[in-house]
Amino acid sequence: MSSNRRIAIVLFNLGGPDSPAAVEPFLFNLFNDRNIIDLPGVLRWPLAKLISSRRAKAAGAIYAEMGGRSPILPNTERQAAALQASLGDLGEVKVFIAMRYWHPLTEETVAAVKRFAPDEVILLPLYPQFSTTTTESSDRVWRVAAKRQGLTAPRKLICCYPTEPGFIAGVAKVTAAAIARAKAKTKAPIFVIFSAHGLPKKIVDRGDPYVAQVSATVHAVVDTLGLAVPEWMVAFQSRVGPLEWVGPPTDHSIEEAASAGKAVVVVPIAFVSEHSETLVELDIEYRHLAEKRGAAAYERAPTVSEEPDFIAGLAQLVRTALQQPQRVQPGSGAQYCAAWPRCACQREEL
């Protein structure tokens, strides 16, 4: 590959408020996303204003537990720096960050990429498992912003990578370390709960492959670790509102394992960066729940963040994408979403 080639890599992530004042507008951006609330804009906008205003106080208290801001941007910046350093042999490579709901927002990042004037753009979601609520949403707003600003460089989207070897190796490493910490504290049976962010069941019923891909990730990690079937399960956290969500719920699963006197190890399986769902929901709220129910121990594996295996896996995804002609690159996910019509691999354009 030519050494003077200019390559822009854009990491997609959700973002998070960077101050107490940013909490409500962050929530508004989240609930005003049509991939989150599927209503016409004229109805979604006032509903998003209502929901964000009502939830701002409780959400603010959560972010106060983390110093008044989300750590997701500095975490993503470190991941970007590590990825950029690993790809220097490809030419002039620059890694950008596009957050979906707070700064740097997609419009800002498109402008920065346009100034860089790349020969090619690789869109790399920090969502290993594809969902219409994450990857599709981020890609959709990117396409709109790129067209509006006249960014015409060829682009490729890496759809998903639920079983990418570097990602799996990174998760297996942090899981094994968490299990070892639990074993050092107790001789009670260890029960591992792989926890992913939940989705309303109706989204999965429409053909979203997220749950199937989460399952593929977990099975790959379990195979790597050699865990016996009774020792682990998949569960889903962060459910809100009256809709039926996919299950089983993480908190209920923790209660059951803790009540049985087991040592609980919780592993974030769909998050690759630390944020409120890991640092508050898992570390504080669910730890308290486990201890209250009598768990022999409670350990939470960290996200893969800047684990070298994970960064190497991301780099390999980029290298492969640059060599392939398809606009939507399947990563390691194609075989896990062939039956799911909403997956990006099934459509040339989202």
pLDDT at 48: 86
CA 112 distance to own-chain centroid: 23
* pTM, 2 dp: 0.92
Per-residue pLDDT tens digits for 31-76: 888 888 888 888 989 988 999 888 889 888 888 888 888 999 999 9
Q: ω into residue 248 within 30 of 0, thus cis?
A: yes
N-term to C-term CA, the chain? 29
- 197 is an annotated ligand-binding site residue: yes
For the chain, domains (ranges, CATH) are 6-162+308-346 (3.40.50.1400), 165-300 (3.40.50.1400)
pLDDT at 1: 46
3-state secondary structure 94-147: EEEEEECCCCCEHHHHHHHHHHHCCCEEEEEECCCCCCHHHHHHHHHHHHHHHH
Q: Give the HSE-up count for residue 59: Cα atoms under 13 Å, Cβ half-sphere.
A: 25
Burial of 233: CB neighbours in 10 Å, binned 0-12, 13-18, 19+: middle
32 — phi, psi (to 5°)?
A: -90, 5
pLDDT at 37: 85
How far is the C-alpha of 249 from the C-alpha of 28, rounded, in Å? 25
* Helix axes of 41-64 and 23-31: crossing angle, nearest 10 degrees: 140
Contact (CB, 8 A) for 232 and 193 = yes
pLDDT at 350: 44
- 120 is an annotated ligand-binding site residue: no
> Can you list the residues of the chain whose pLDDT is less than 70?
1-3, 229, 241, 333, 337-339, 341-350
Which secondary-structure segment (H or E) carries 329?
strand 328-329
Coil, strand, or helix at residue 54? helix
How far is the C-alpha of 173 from the C-alpha of 36, rounded, in Å? 33
